[in-house]
Structure 1
Amino acid sequence: MKAVFLAHTAAPSGAELATLRLVAAMPQGHTAVIYTEDGPMVRRTQQRGIETRLVRNDFDSRAMTIQKAGLRSLLSGCAGLVRLGWALGATVRELEATVVVAGSTKALLMGAVAARRARVPLIWQVHDRISADYFGRWLAPAIRLLGWLVARGCIANSRGTLASLYTWRRRALVAYPGVEFDTPEFTDLAQGSAAITRAEQRPAGETVITVVGRLAPWKGQDHFLRALADARILPREVFLVGGTFFDEESYRAELEVHATALDLPVTFTGHVEDPEPYLRHADILVHCSVLPEPFGQVVVEGMRAGCAVIATRPGGPEEIVDPGVNGLLVDAGDRAQLTHALDTLIADQELRAKLAEAARFRARDFDIAESARAVTDFLTRLPGSRWRHG
């Protein structure tokens, strides 16, 4: 009667944080998480009272990046994941798991071996669109096929992500990553009230803009800085909230050069454990990915915090934002559209307040408790999982 979630990294990136929220909201005692490297997520998971195991790998799986790995190193890395999967299978059996949930493509390969050794079903929890944009023309269909072959079903973080998978004769569920509403400051909001403690929307020249996310080229922070430089009215403050992972440190240096050259009032915060104070302080949240976002967790977080949101399409934000009602959408990579959206919101304090109020109500639709119930039911009904409600 236990679902074991498998993570190949312990870095606090979006997928790992989303999984932590989900597992914490599921029935206590019926979940566990296995990490294959040490890092901040191990301690965060333990602090939430979740059974946590660490099974270290004997190679650096981060070297298996799609952009950097040649065929030989990719095959060598896959062999290492298979070996690690065999070791994980023993831990899965020790935990008396009834189902393994693989939280990434690398975890899928390890999980296939672990689940087979433990003789339990495997479910693929998919956080990324399995498309050529992310994985390349040839590797994307190979990953889709692997998932279809080895997993009994999949849990996708959006309808867009689900559409990028092979699901024929497989069980499938869309479970949005969700946000938590069980903290005191959000209790009234979860129960239907828009009351929340935060500053009112500021006048045009005093606006504060926040961009939250890992500093990575596909997240589009450089695109945002150029679009902002073209705006008619500059905000008083801009916060780029996020750190660098996976050998992307040079990108932050490029952003700092851009901000200085364009004379923009930008503060780089680096990685922060909880971006909520920055969101609560901001008037506008900008989501500026230049590739289709699988979901857009920060968009929901910004809406919950009462920001007026600008987000990019296509991708998950289209499933979150109703344009002109609770936020604005612009085409990914379109600098002129982003500048126009910034001009519109910065100049119109009343519009910002209207969108922010509607956004707070919209955020209630993404309560992590609802996703946890859906995932629990999905795993409960999985044939062969042996998980039954008691």
Structure 2
Amino acid sequence: MTKALFITHTAAPSGAELATLRLAIALRGERPEHSGSRGLDVAVLCAQDGPIVDRMREAGVETIVLQSAFDSRAMTVRNRSLRRLIVGFFGLAKIGWAAGAAARATGATVLVAESTKALVIGTVAARRAGIPLVWQVHDRISAEYFGGLLSSVVRGLGWVCSRGYIANSRSTMSTLIAWRRATLVAYPGVEPNSLADHVSQRRPSETVVVAVGRLTPWKGQDLFLRALADTTVRPECVYLVGGTFFGEEAFRARLERLAHELDLPVIFTGHVDHPDAYMRHADILVHCSVIPEPFGQVVVEGMNAGCAVIASGPGGPTEIVESGINGLLVDGGDQEQLTTALNTLIGDRELRRRLSAAGRRRAARFGIAESARDIASFLDTVTATPERKRAAHA
């Protein structure tokens, strides 16, 4: 049986970690007859303690915490200090050595790194444990995120040290060196949702709009507020659902000042464990990243909840939304386009209803069970010995 040990560098409840939580729970329910694999056992290793650890354990997922002194902000995309990068790299390598011992103790047969930092941890751990490493890539490894030099280094490290990639979109996969590596595009899955408690689309002046995501400049919440201020009919209520996890509290304060200056009816919820309650209450969900989104999990979640969705391209959202069919697409960073899309949806209740119904049908194609089956089979293939491969083809 394959035993996969998923490695996360943080236990903060941000997008990649929540996707890992859903996947780990779904993989625990996989059976060989369903996935075509020999069977899969799952455990998660976190370099730090945090809310995700509690949620993993509540769901019955075997979870290991390495109580390291590593500061996850030491190697952020924003902070490219060479000294901090070097210190951070060696800190991660030290964690990797301990992770290798944990992998041996759990009987893991494959490691799955859930971030670029986890890739460094996993590289050392895989060498110590003598098992293959797979990189599950949640970020586009591109200059927009990492800068030109660092993105090249990360791509090279991934190609040299991992046996294969699981990417969250074709857009993400296109930023990797895939030559002679096993690859799988597996979209982050969602659980099907009942529309029984979703509100009917309201009249224009009563519209409720929601934007869900970590409050950070590249997610474009400031552009969203400015676009809202220019709409012909302002919504009755706007929810900004999301917290700050990586030293970005000043950005939230800036957004609060901007909302006050523009006299917008904005409610800041902070981090919410289950934002679907806000999405079920909203008429419109807006995704407004100003640089290409790796996937756009919240777009699927909004569709699944019954919202009419506006999403920003390029990137993963263009693999989800057919503009005018099950949502509206705008160019990321284009405030005028976003205002036009908001005006269109706020003013046309029937269009919102059509997009909501079509969006929910589209979201059904991104179920977590299908992603779990694909990943279980992929990990089984990656860990197969030459003897097992020959037997499988006999």
Q: Is 1:120 the counterpart of 2:121 in the alignment?
A: no
- Report if the CA contact (8 A) 1:120-1:385 is conserved: no
Provide the C-alpha distance between the structure 2 equivalents of 1:265 and 1:80, rounded to a whole number of angstroms: 44
- Report if the CA contact (8 A) 2:283-2:308 is conserved: yes
**Correspondence for 1:249:** 249
Any idea what the Cα deviations from partners look like across 1:259-301, whole Å, max 9, x if unmatched? 0000101000111110011000000000000010000000000
**Correspondence for 1:365:** 365
Provide the C-alpha distance between the structure 2 equivalents of 1:116 and 1:122, rounded to a whole number of angstroms: 9
CA separation of 1:84/1:197 partners in 2, compared to 1, >3 Å: closer, same or farther?
A: same
Shift of 1:383: 4.3
CA separation of 1:327/1:382 partners in 2, compared to 1, >3 Å: closer, same or farther?
A: same
- Report if the CA contact (8 A) 1:379-1:385 is conserved: no
CA separation of 1:140/1:204 partners in 2, compared to 1, >3 Å: closer, same or farther?
A: same
| Aligned amino acid, residue 287 of structure 2 | H
- Report if the CA contact (8 A) 2:212-2:242 is conserved: yes
Aligned to 1:77, the other structure's residue is in SS state helix
Provide the C-alpha distance between the structure 1 equivalents of 2:10 and 2:305, rounded to a whole number of angstroms: 28
| Aligned amino acid, residue 22 of structure 2 | R
**Correspondence for 2:173:** 162
Q: Is 1:148 the counterpart of 2:159 in the alignment?
A: yes
Instruction: Provide the aligned length of Structure 1 versus Structure 2.
Output: 377
Provide the C-alpha distance between the structure 2 equivalents of 1:76 and 1:359, rounded to a whole number of angstroms: 46
| Aligned amino acid, residue 60 of structure 2 | G
Q: Which of 70, 77, 95 is equivalent to 2:88?
A: 77
Shift of 1:384: 4.5
**Correspondence for 2:119:** 108
Shift of 1:72: 1.7
Between 87-96 and 24-33, report the one with greater CA deviation: 24-33
Between 24-33 and 138-147, report the one with greater CA deviation: 24-33
**Correspondence for 1:172:** 183
Aligned to 2:5, the other structure's residue is in SS state strand
Aligned to 1:2, the other structure's residue is in SS state strand
Provide the C-alpha distance between the structure 2 equivalents of 1:85 and 1:382, rounded to a whole number of angstroms: 21
The CA RMSD measured in Å over matched residues stands at 1.4
Any idea what the Cα deviations from partners look like across 1:112-142, whole Å, max 9, x if unmatched? 1101111110000000000000000111011
Q: Which of 21, 30, 34 is equivalent to 2:45?
A: 34
Alignment of 1:117-266 (within 5 A): 117-181=128-192, 186=194, 196-266=196-266
Provide the C-alpha distance between the structure 1 equivalents of 2:60 and 2:357, rounded to a whole number of angstroms: 34
Provide the C-alpha distance between the structure 1 equivalents of 2:13 and 2:21, rounded to a whole number of angstroms: 10
| Aligned amino acid, residue 272 of structure 2 | V
| Aligned amino acid, residue 276 of structure 1 | D
| Aligned amino acid, residue 232 of structure 1 | T
- Report if the CA contact (8 A) 1:98-1:385 is conserved: no
Shift of 1:199: 1.2
Q: Is 1:3 the counterpart of 2:14 in the alignment?
A: no
Runs (4+) of structure 1 moved beyond 4 Å?
383-388
- Report if the CA contact (8 A) 1:220-1:290 is conserved: yes
Provide the C-alpha distance between the structure 2 equivalents of 1:68 and 1:201, rounded to a whole number of angstroms: 43
Q: Is 1:325 the counterpart of 2:325 in the alignment?
A: yes
**Correspondence for 1:19:** 20
**Correspondence for 2:73:** 62
| Aligned amino acid, residue 160 of structure 2 | L
**Correspondence for 1:97:** 108
Aligned to 1:120, the other structure's residue is in SS state coil
| Aligned amino acid, residue 5 of structure 1 | F
- Report if the CA contact (8 A) 2:109-2:383 is conserved: no
| Aligned amino acid, residue 246 of structure 1 | F
Aligned to 1:172, the other structure's residue is in SS state strand
Provide the C-alpha distance between the structure 2 equivalents of 1:160 and 1:335, rounded to a whole number of angstroms: 23
- Report if the CA contact (8 A) 2:110-2:383 is conserved: no
Provide the C-alpha distance between the structure 1 equivalents of 2:385 and 2:357, rounded to a whole number of angstroms: 43
Provide the C-alpha distance between the structure 1 equivalents of 2:385 and 2:358, rounded to a whole number of angstroms: 41
Q: Which runs of 5+ in 2 are unaligned?
A: 30-39, 390-394
Shift of 1:80: 1.4
**Correspondence for 2:297:** 297
- Report if the CA contact (8 A) 1:99-1:385 is conserved: no
Provide the C-alpha distance between the structure 1 equivalents of 2:383 and 2:41, rounded to a whole number of angstroms: 17
- Report if the CA contact (8 A) 1:120-1:384 is conserved: no
CA separation of 1:385/1:233 partners in 2, compared to 1, >3 Å: closer, same or farther?
A: farther
Provide the C-alpha distance between the structure 2 equivalents of 1:196 and 1:354, rounded to a whole number of angstroms: 17
Q: Which of 37, 44, 62 is equivalent to 1:51?
A: 62
Provide the C-alpha distance between the structure 2 equivalents of 1:362 and 1:61, rounded to a whole number of angstroms: 36
**Correspondence for 1:270:** 270
Aligned to 2:86, the other structure's residue is in SS state helix
Q: Which runs of 5+ in 1 are unaligned?
A: 187-194
Any idea what the Cα deviations from partners look like across 1:140-199, whole Å, max 9, x if unmatched? 011000000000000000000000000100000000001013xxx53xxxxxxxx53311
